[in-house]
C-alpha cells in the first residue's frame, strides 16, 4: 500500500500554542553583532535545559556579522564565492547568508508541550513571518516546493516559461532535538543584498527567483519596529512571550 501524500503546508493548522497555564516564552533581543559560534553554543545549552525541564522556552533576536551557513542539505557547488566565513551547521536546509540588517530569530520551543508535528511547526514559522510582513504592507507568500517566505516581483523579468519573478524575503532553517527546536528564521530588513551573490541561496538558481528585503521593497522600517511586529504576531501563532 502506498503511503498517503503529506498535506500541503497551506492546509495545515499553524497554531502551536502551549497548553493553558504554561509559562510564557522568554523573549530576548541583543544589540550589536553576535558571534555565530557563541550563538550556537547558547542554543545548544538552552535546548538541553528546555528538554530537561530546567529552563523556559526562548526566542532570541539578533544580528550576525557577515557569514554563510550550510545546512544539512547544502551542496558545495552552491558556494559560489566564500568571501565570508562559512559555518557548517546541523539545521535543515542549504546555504544561506546572515549579516547586518537581517533579523535572525532563534526559536527554541518544546513541541512536546505544543504539538509534535515538524511540518506544522514550519508552517507556523511561515505564518508568523507572513503576518509580520503584512504589518508593513508586504504580501509574503509560502511556496510548497520552497521553504521560506516569498514576494511576487512583477516589476522584474519573468522566467523562461513566463513565470512571474519572485524574491525570497525570509529564510527558515530549523532542527529538532528531543522535540525541542533550535535555529529558526532570518528576515531581511535592510541587509546588503549583494552579499547573497556568494551563494545560491537555499540552492535556488533560477534567474527569475532572487532575494529582497523590506528596504529593497521601499519599506523604511527600523529593527525596533520589526521586533515589535515579530513579538505581536508570534503571540497569535505560538502564544504569549515575555521580554527578558
Specify if 129 maps to a domain. yes
Total domains present in the chain:
1
pLDDT tens by residue, 3-30: 333 556 666 777 899 888 889 999 999 9
Residue positions forming the annotated binding site for substrate:
91-98, 171-173, 184-186
181-212 in b/e form (b: 16+ CB < 10 A) is bbbbbbbbbbbebebbebbbbbbbeeebbbbb
- 5 noted as active-site residue: no
Residue positions forming the annotated binding site:
91-98, 171-173, 184-186
> Whole-model pTM?
0.93
Q: Which residue range(s) make up the domain with 54?
A: 18-137+172-202+222-243
CATH number at residue 53: 3.30.930.10
Specify if 40 maps to a domain. yes
Specify if 158 maps to a domain. no
In sequence order, what are the beta bridge partners of 167?
Answer: 151, 210
Specify if 208 maps to a domain. no
235 and 116 Cβ atoms separated by less than 8 Å? no
What mean pLDDT is reported for the chain? Answer: 92
Specify if 78 maps to a domain. yes
167 and 210 Cβ atoms separated by less than 8 Å? yes
pLDDT tens by residue, 100-146: 999 999 999 999 999 999 999 999 999 999 999 999 999 999 998 88
Specify if 59 maps to a domain. yes
82-106 in b/e form (b: 16+ CB < 10 A) is eebeeeebebbbbbbbbbebbbbbb
Amino acid at each position: 500500500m502506498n503511503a498517503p501524500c503529506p498535506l500541503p503546508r497551506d492546509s495545515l493548522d499553524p497554531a502551536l500554542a502551549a497548553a493553558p497555564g504554561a509559562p510564557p516564552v522568554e523573549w530576548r533581543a541583543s544589540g550589536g553583532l553576535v558571534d555565530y559560534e557563541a550563538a550556537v553554543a547558547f542554543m545548544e545549552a538552552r535546548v538541553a535545559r528546555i528538554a530537561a525541564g530546567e529552563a523556559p522556552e526562548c526566542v532570541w533576536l539578533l544580528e550576525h556579522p557577515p557569514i554563510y551557513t550550510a545546512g544539512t542539505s547544502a551542496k558545495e557547488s552552491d558556494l559560489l564565492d566564500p568571501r565570508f566565513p562559512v559555518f557548517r551547521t546541523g539545521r535543515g536546509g542549504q546555504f544561506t547568508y546572515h549579516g547586518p540588517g537581517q533579523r535572525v530569530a532563534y526559536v527554541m520551543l518544546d513541541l512536546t508541550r505544543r504539538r509534535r508535528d515538524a511540518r506544522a511547526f514550519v508552517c507556523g514559522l511561515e505564518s508568523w513571518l507572513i503576518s509580520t510582513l503584512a504589518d508593513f504592507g508586504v504580501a509574503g507568500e509560502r511556496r510548497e516546493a520552497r521553504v521560506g517566505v516569498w514576494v511576487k516581483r512583477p516589476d522584474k523579468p519573468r522566467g523562461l516559461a513566463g513565470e512571474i519573478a519572485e524574491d525570497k524575503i525570509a529564510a527558515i532553517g530549523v532542527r529538532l532535538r528531543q522535540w525541542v527546536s533550535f535555529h529558526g528564521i532570518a528576515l531581511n530588513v535592510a541587509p546588503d543584498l549583494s552579499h547573497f551573490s556568494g551563494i545560491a541561496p537555499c540552492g535556488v538558481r533560477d534567474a527569475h527567483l532572487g532575494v529582497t528585503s523590506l528596504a529593497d521593497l521601499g519599506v523604511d522600517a527600523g529593527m525596533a519596529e520589526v521586533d515589535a511586529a515579530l513579538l505581536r504576531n508570534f503571540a497569535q501563532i505560538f502564544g504569549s512571550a515575555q521580554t527578558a
